[in-house]
Amino acid sequence: MNRRELLDRASATAEERLLLGHVWDKYEQCRSRCVPTHTEFLSPQEQAAARRLLQAIGAEESEYAFFGGYEGAERRQLHFLPDWAFGPEEDAVAALRCRFYEAGTLNHRDFLGSLMGLGLTREKIGDILVGENSADVLVSRTAEPFLLEQWESAGRAHLQVAPLALADVTAPAQAQREVRDTVSSLRLDSVLSSGFSISRGKAADYIAAGKCELNYAPCMKGDKQAAEGDVITIRGLGKIRLETIGGSTKKGRISIEITRFL
């Protein structure tokens, strides 16, 4: 299968195809020149698409790594590693701490809107971690000098912006709820029913309507078998993660533990 056919098969949209072509170029650049390369920040959906492409072209997992500046980052760069590299180039990601005086006055949208209002494109911006009186913002290293000089406000609040070591990035705890249940099978619609406390029929409707993503890839198969570690999102409802799959009960049902993110 040639490059065009592989990109066509791996891409769901023309925009995604363009992105995956860029990912492939970065991979080939690393291999041919034996130098580290990386993309800008990718969303979880884009990361999943890139991973599928890399698997399709036979890339080894040791040849690439995702990095967003801190453990648990959602938006991450994709770094390609030559044989001599031990890990991603951490200095490709910069962290900024933005302080403001009125607690709780700014949210994620305020910060993102302010950054894009300054002319930054979305791929230059990583996670935005908003606290009470400050926010830690991950950006591409190339954007850091401009932001330190020009970024003065978000929403209606004045900001004090300073560089921050990656080791000092603070991610606010995300509200979540643990769900323990039993299911008749590990079908996707059955797991969704437990995780979101909806009927199995309603779960099937969401899947059929194209509102479900399994590990950040669209999934319209209600009978798809879920596995431990799977992240499942439903547009309009939120996100769950299937943490553990236990044994069978006396009635033949399967015990599961799910984290629901609130």
Spatial distance between the Cα atoms of 213 and 185, rounded to a whole number of angstroms:
19
Measure the CA–CA gap between 214 and 199, rounded to whole angstroms: 19
pLDDT band at 192 (very low <50, low <70, confident <90, very high): very high
Residue 171 is predicted with a pLDDT of 87
Dist CA 96 CA 115 (whole Å)? 12
Q: What pTM, to 2 d.p., does this model score? A: 0.84
Q: Which two tokens stand for residue 12?
A: 């769901």
Residue where the block lists tokens 């300054």? 118
Give Cα separations from 25 to 7, 19, 30, 50, 258 (angstroms): 12, 10, 9, 12, 38
Per-chain mean pLDDT for the chain: 94
What order do you get walking across the sheet with 64-67 strand by strand? 37-42, 76-80, 64-67
83-103 confidence digits (pLDDT tens): 999 899 999 999 999 999 887
Each residue's pLDDT tens digit, 118-160: 999 999 999 999 988 999 999 999 999 999 999 999 998 999 9
Is there a contact between 90 and 127 (Cβ–Cβ < 8 Å)? no
CA dist 124 and 92 (Å) reads 11
Among residues 187, 105, 118, the alpha carbon closest in space to that of 150 is found at: 118
CA–CA distance, 100 with 9 (Å, rounded to integer): 47
Cα gap 183→196, rounded to integer Å: 13
What is the model's pLDDT at position 184? 93
